[in-house]
Amino acid sequence: MAAVPDYLEKTSAPAYYEPGTPDGSRPGRLRIDTWNAAERNLYAVEDIAYHEGLPGHHLQISIAQELEGVPSFRKYGRYTAYTEGWGLYSERLGKDVGFYQDPYSDYGRLEGDIWRAIRLVVDTGVHAQHWTRQQMVDYFHEHSAIDETSIQAEVDRYIAWPSQAAAYKIGQLKILELRARAKTALGDKFDLRAFHDQILDSGALPLDVLSDRIDAWIAAQKTATTRP
């Protein structure tokens, strides 16, 4: 864990993951934005830890970097919907496995969901409906309790990076869809850990390729369970 560098702190997200070097000489780091810390909300700390750390980006990217027998672009490349979809999925997974025992942190998880819903609106608002920056800020205030420091940095990010924020939710929904598909098809034979292996152990993939991969895994599991 380390602070966001000074030159980025005024425009950074509250936290982000910085991958380690491929040779292991520098570990991966969770970067925390400490600028204007007294004005920031802390209810999202647990939620962010799952997204950026474990089982989120630190696990996801470390596994990808350690893959063998695949080209480098499979180990170090990124597809935003896949990479950030796993990050959002990890926040939800924390709840699924029984974390967020503190109601304050669980509120942070719910506020995180609201945050992601809001940015679907403001992203399309500014780029498709020609919203002003102030309209984006106002929409955040009208629909959340997110602190002013985070809002100001986030709206600039959405302005500069069209559809990046929207890709997060698309990826999360796809992974949840694939999990539901596998669970329905396999019933009692569904193993959540094995499903996660299939999501993570080939590096970042386009979502259509990931869907094909899970379908192939489901078919293989069915064959294995019916074989005499």
What is the band of 185 on the pLDDT scale with cuts at 50, 70, 90? very high
Residue 227 has pLDDT above 80, yes or no: no
- Residues 117-150 have pLDDT tens digits of 999 999 999 999 999 999 999 999 999 999 999 9
Could you give the CA distance from residue 228 to residue 220 in angstroms, rounded to a whole number?
14
Element (H, E) at 171: helix 164-186
CA distances, 150 to each of 13, 116, 121 (Å): 7, 13, 17
Predicted pLDDT of residue 1: 85
pLDDT of residue 22: 86
pLDDT on residue 116 = 93
Beta partners for residue 130, in sequence order: none
For residues 167 and 151, give the distance between their C-alpha atoms in angstroms, rounded to a whole number: 19
Is the pLDDT confidence value at 91 over 70?
yes
Write down the pLDDT at residue 224. 84
pLDDT of residue 80: 96
pLDDT value of residue 228:
57
Does a cis peptide bond (omega within 30 degrees of 0) precede residue 228?
Answer: no
For 17-48, the pLDDT digits (tens) are: 999 998 889 999 999 999 999 999 899 999 99
Of 95, 159, 80, which Cα lies nearest the Cα of 127? 159
Residue holding tokens 């993570």?
200
> Cα(190)–Cα(174) distance, rounded to whole angstroms?
18
Say if residue 169's pLDDT is above 80. yes
Q: What's the chain's average pLDDT? A: 94
Q: Work out the percent of the chain whose per-residue pLDDT is above 90.
A: 89
Report pLDDT for 24: 86
Confidence (pLDDT) at 226: 65
